């Protein structure tokens, strides 16, 4: 069964560094999402992406965040200058329409 | 502001018990309500509900949506220790935004 994959599974970075989190959505899906979940807290929507552009974004998704679909398969989330409070699990999800299928997540630790 | 509320936030039961988890929502241009089970990592899909009053079932789990009162319930009968997880409710809008609730942490004791 096709599944969403994410790399790396765990990323440790220093404050102020840039990170790129990678996702490979399910191939025939049209909608792509990034969420984050700070340890012990709820899942928070960051951004949705459709037809090669952002369709919605939350207040969390400020100028330090960006998303790209560089090659038609990968879907990336870039955090330009990481802060301690960016430490969280980042989930990618994809959807044909309606139901979202989540990847296993990337645990980002900012030190 | 769109929001989803779940109750209880935490629940401890014994194997064999039946549990009911609640989810209420306020979402502009509501489209559907989804239930997910989150164990150690990523949420896994359980149900998607779009119509009021139609129960969806999968084994010991069932769920129903009330669009008039803006809530949904998830029932789990004859609970097992493997049902221990956080159960997430999410409401979606036609803008493709998903709003998650805080989850209900269910612990099933042997």
Asked if A83 has any chain B CB less than 8 Å from its own CB, the reply is: no
> What's the half-sphere exposure (Cβ side, CA atoms, 13 Å) at B61?
15
Contact B41 A104 (CB under 8 A): yes
Q: Which of B41, B44, B101 sits opposite A42 (nearest CB)?
A: B101
Q: pLDDT tier at A15 (50, 70, 90 boundaries)?
A: very high
DSSP calls for A63-102: TTEEEE-TTSS-EEEEESS--GGG-EEEEEEEESSS--EE
The span from the CA of A77 to the CA of B96, in Å, is 18
By three-state DSSP, how is residue B14 classified?
A: strand
Architecture field, domain A5-96: Sandwich (2.60)
- Chain B residues with CB-CB distance to A108 below 8 A: none
- Nearest chain B residue to A32 by CA: give it: B96
Contact B96 A31 (CB under 8 A): yes
CB of A5 within 8 A of CB of A103? Answer: yes
* Structure tokens given for A20: 């790129």
Evaluate if residue A70 carries a pLDDT over 90.
no
Tell me the average pLDDT across A59-84. Answer: 92
The span from the CA of B89 to the CA of B73, in Å, is 9
Q: Which of A48, A102, A103 sits opposite B97 (nearest CB)?
A: A48
Chain A: give the shortest CA distance to residue B15, in Å: 25
Kindly list the averaged pLDDT for each block of 10 residues, start to end, along chain B of length 110: 93 98 94 91 90 93 95 98 96 78 96
Tell me the average pLDDT across A16-43. Answer: 93
pLDDT at position B96, please? 59
| Structural domains of chain B sorted by starting position, each given as residue range(s) with its CATH number in brackets | 3-95 (2.60.40.10)
pLDDT at position A88, please? 97
Asked if A43 has any chain B CB less than 8 Å from its own CB, the reply is: yes
What is the number of residues in chain A? 111
Chain B: give the shortest CA distance to residue A16, in Å: 27
Evaluate if residue A23 carries a pLDDT over 70.
yes
**A91 - beta bridge partners?**
A35
Q: pLDDT tier at A57 (50, 70, 90 boundaries)?
A: confident
| A45, A69, A92 from A74: Cα distances, Å | 19, 6, 11
Evaluate if residue A69 carries a pLDDT over 70.
yes
Q: pLDDT tier at A36 (50, 70, 90 boundaries)?
A: very high
Evaluate if residue A72 carries a pLDDT over 90.
no
> Around Cβ A35, how many Cβ atoms within 10 Å?
28
Average pLDDT, chain A: 92
CB of B6 within 8 A of CB of B103? Answer: yes
> Around Cβ B108, how many Cβ atoms within 10 Å?
20
The burial class, CB within 10 Å (0-12 / 13-18 / 19+), for B93 is middle
User: By mean pLDDT, which of A35-39, A68-72, B64-68, B85-89 is the weakest?
Assistant: A68-72
CB of A9 within 8 A of CB of A90? Answer: no
**B26 - beta bridge partners?**
B3
Q: Output the CA angle A6-A58-B88, nearest 5 degrees.
A: 65
């Amino acid at each position: 069964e096709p599944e969403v994959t994410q790399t790396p599974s765990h990323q440790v970075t220093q404050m102020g560094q840039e990170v790129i989190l990678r996702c490979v959505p399910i191939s025939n899906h049209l909608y792509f999402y990034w969420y984050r979940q700070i340890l012990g807290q709820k899942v928070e929507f960051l951004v949705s992406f459709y037809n090669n552009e952002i369709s919605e974004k939350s207040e969390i998704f400020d100028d330090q965040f960006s998303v790209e679909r560089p090659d038609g398969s990968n879907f990336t989330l870039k955090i330009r200058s990481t802060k301690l409070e960016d430490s969280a699990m980042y989930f990618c999800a994809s959807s044909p329409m309606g139901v979202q299928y989540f990847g296993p997540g990337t645990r980002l630790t900012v030190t | 502001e769109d929001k989803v509320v779940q109750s209880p936030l935490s629940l401890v039961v014994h194997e064999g018990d039946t549990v009911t988890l609640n989810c209420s929502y306020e979402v502009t241009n509501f489209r559907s309500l989804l239930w997910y089970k989150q164990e150690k990592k990523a949420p896994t899909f359980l149900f998607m509900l779009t119509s009021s009053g139609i129960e969806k079932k999968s084994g010991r789990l069932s769920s129903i949506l009330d669009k008039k009162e803006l809530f949904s319930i998830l029932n789990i009968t004859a609970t097992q220790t493997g049902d221990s997880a956080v159960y997430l409710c999410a409401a979606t809008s036609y803008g493709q935004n998903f709003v998650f609730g805080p989850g209900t942490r269910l612990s099933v004791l042997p």
